Amino acid sequence: MCTGKGYVVTNQKQPGCFTRWAKPLRTGRLAWAAIVLMLGGCTMVGPDFVKPEAPVRADWMESHSPGLSAGQTDYREWWRVFNDPVLDNLVAKAYHQNLPLQIAGIRIYEARAQLGIAVGDLYPQQQSADGDLTNNKRSTSSGSPYIDEHFNALKLGFDATWEADIWGKFRRSVQSGVANLEATVASYDNVLVSLTAEVARTYILIRTLEERLLIAAENVKLQEQSLQIANVRFTEGAVSELDVAQARMLLNNTRALIPSLETNLRQSQNALAILLGVLPGELIEMLHGPAQIPAAAETVIVDIPSNLLRRRPDIRLTELRIATQSPQIGIAKADLYPHFTLFGTIGWRSSDATSASSQNELGDIFSSKSLFWSAGPGISWDFLNYGRIRNRVRVEDARLQQLVIKYHNTVLNAQREVEDAMVAFARAREEERYLKTSVTAAQRAVAISMLQYKEGATDYQRVLDSQRFLATQADRLTEVSGQVGTNLVATYKALGGGWQIRKGTDILSEENKNEMTERTSWGGLLDPEEIDVPVDDKDRQNWRSPDW
């Protein structure tokens, strides 16, 4: 075979090729020696990944507010601070059944397969076995009369080409693949953090709406009694019809709140059902239990801000995207330099055509006379495309810098979310305390005004005002009590808690595994094992050697 890429070592002379391309093995040995020397001097162009720095506060501004305390704690199952078995069960079901979380888990194994492709490029990139059997008819107007007019030809061979990783192009691809795999794990954790928080928030919202409906029903009952009293006094001629009209107005105004609350309750239940991966309407049995708003813990422990960088999955995800992008610069830069390849072909060729010099038959395909081979090094260099290549390097560098800035912004926003959640929790708890006192006073005012109205000591306007105020404040207290819980949920979410529950568990469900293995051979990639982001290069070795 003729080639224009360096020296070729061959055992056959080929028509049209210069004889210097078919020099004996001495030249071939020199070429192989040169390749070995080049391989020994392999390097990696482009920058190595450097963990970005970002400003972090030494302490939280709200860490010393009432109900908050600075310290270290376990955020693995933070929802247990509500001491609500129904909530615990809902979170467990969502972890195993939520569909977007399952998609995020499957993406991890997609990334592992992609890493396997990158690792495969470290070895000969092209290997192929080929064979062909052809039936031929030669022209009778030319050629030797001693060759059969009809003859068969058989060829069997194997080709391989290996581009040596002189400049680290393929090793950079492996680095990028490892970081991408770790990024998919961080993305899964981020989905899990959001899922657990959303389940808890929606559950607290459901309990809050149920409580508001109960309060609305109690206010309706109280106002119905007031309407009856006003009717009796009007019938007796003690008051005008105005008292009856005002009582009926307040009663129906309170009744009008109930349909809106029922709508919100049903919609919240449907949203929770989707989070659990079940049909709307299948959730009712799971909500059996004390229909009360989960009470927040008396004291919430918040960790120091610096620990947020490793606990929050979205921060780790952004950092790992930088680690994924950084090798892309080296991959692009490698095209600025020559590419060195090793290639070889070996096979057998035979024909049943007769000639004066050969009596080959197809059955002699594996004889020494039918053997042919060629091998050697090659070189290619896109030296006239430097403008295109250099601009590709600039594109990859610009993408890297964007991710670095995004990392800084993610860290800043993470700290803002923690501060926002903590101040909302602390102030909501303070508001709840004042509202409890207000509702107690409003209940007393209603009782006094009703007593005075029955005795004729005051007009109905006092009763109307006190009952309207009680209805408003009682509903507001219930709403704020729910906000205390949802703000606490937001605090734990901002602190990055909840994803730790997947440690030691199998990310893929048996149903997904069975469906995937029925379609495709996944080797050992789907075996149960703990998926975690490696902490050092030694731990990454298993990630770099996926099952082929």
- Could you tell me the residue ranges of all domains in the chain? 1-41+126-164+339-380, 42-122+165-338+381-526
Over residues 57-75, the pLDDT tens digits come to: 888 888 788 878 888 888 9
Whether the pLDDT of residue 136 is over 70: the answer is yes
pLDDT of residue 529: 57
For the cut 70, the answer to whether the pLDDT of residue 233 exceeds it is yes
For residues 361 and 481, give the distance between their C-alpha atoms in angstroms, rounded to a whole number: 93
Mean pLDDT within 325-345? 92
* Tokens, residue 493: 């979410």
Give the Å distances, CA to CA, from 477 to 214, 293, 302, 338, 473: 13, 12, 26, 74, 6
Mean pLDDT of 160-184: 91
Tell which residue, 13, 35, 32, has the closest CA to residue 23: 13
Q: Mean pLDDT over residues 333-361, rounded?
A: 77
C-alpha–C-alpha distance, residues 141 and 119, integer Å: 55
Q: 288-311: buried (b, 16+ CB within 10 Å) or exposed (e) per residue?
A: eeeeebbebeeebbbbebeebbeb
Highest mean pLDDT of the ranges 222-231, 260-269, 344-353, 528-537: 260-269
CA distance 134 to 209: 80
Q: For the beta carbon of residue 126, count every other beta carbon within 10 angstroms.
A: 11
The number of beta carbons lying within 10 Å of the beta carbon of residue 59 is: 12
pLDDT at 426: 92
The residue ranking higher by pLDDT, 477 or 548, is 477
Task: Give the pLDDT of residue 7.
Answer: 34
Q: Are 312 and 496 in contact (CB under 8 A)?
A: yes
Q: What is the pLDDT of residue 42?
A: 67
**Is residue 138 classed exposed, middle or buried when 0-12, 13-18 and 19+ CB atoms within 10 A define those classes?**
middle
Q: Do domains 1-41+126-164+339-380 and 42-122+165-338+381-526 have the same CATH topology?
A: no
Predicted confidence band of residue 208 (pLDDT cuts 50, 70, 90): very high
Please tell me the least confidently modeled range out of 11-25, 448-462, 467-481, 493-507. Answer: 11-25
Q: Look at residue 357 in the predicted model and tell me its pLDDT.
A: 46
- 186, amino acid identity: A
Residue pair 245/460 in contact by the 8 Å Cβ criterion:
no
pLDDT of 27 higher than 60: no
For the chain, the distance separating the N- and C-terminal CA atoms, rounded to the nearest angstrom, is: 32
Is-contact 212 258, C-beta < 8 A? Answer: no
pLDDT band at 8 (very low <50, low <70, confident <90, very high): very low
**For residues 466 and 445, is the Cβ–Cβ distance under 8 A?**
yes
Q: Of the spans 129-133, 202-206, 507-511, which averages the highest pLDDT?
A: 202-206
Query: Best-predicted range by mean pLDDT among 3-12, 133-142, 232-241?
Result: 232-241
* pLDDT at residue number 354: 62
Per-residue pLDDT band at 542 (split at 50, 70, 90) = low
Say what percent of the chain tops pLDDT 90.
48
CA–CA separation, 178 vs 195, rounded Å? Answer: 26
Q: Which CATH superfamily is domain 1-41+126-164+339-380 in?
A: Outer membrane efflux proteins (OEP) (2.20.200.10)
Q: How many beta carbons lie within 10 A of that of residue 253, not counting itself?
A: 13
CA 265 to CA 210: how far, in whole Å? 7
Instruction: Report d(CA 205, CA 286) in Å as an integer.
Output: 15
How confident is the model over 373-385, as a mean pLDDT? 86
pTM above 0.75?
A: yes
Residue 77's φ and ψ, nearest 5 degrees, are: -130, 60
Q: Which residues neighbour 111 within 8 Å (Cβ) at sequence distance 6 or greater?
A: 177, 180, 181, 183, 184
User: Above 70 in pLDDT, residue 393?
Assistant: yes
- pLDDT score, position 473: 93
Residues of the chain above pLDDT 70, percent: 84
What kind of architecture, by CATH, is found in domain 42-122+165-338+381-526?
Up-down Bundle (1.20)
Residue 102 has pLDDT above 90, yes or no: yes
Q: Among the residues of 455-532, which ranges form H helices?
A: 460-494, 510-519
Residue 106 in tokens:
């499957």
Confidence tier at 143 by pLDDT (50, 70, 90): low
Is the per-residue pLDDT at 161 higher than 50?
yes
For the chain, state the CA radius of gyration: 39
* Mean predicted confidence (pLDDT) in 327-343: 92
What does the block give as tokens for 260? 């809106």
Q: What's the mean per-residue pLDDT of the chain?
A: 84
Q: Average of pLDDT values for 510-535?
A: 76
Per-state percent for the chain, helix, strand, coil, to nearest 5: 60, 10, 30
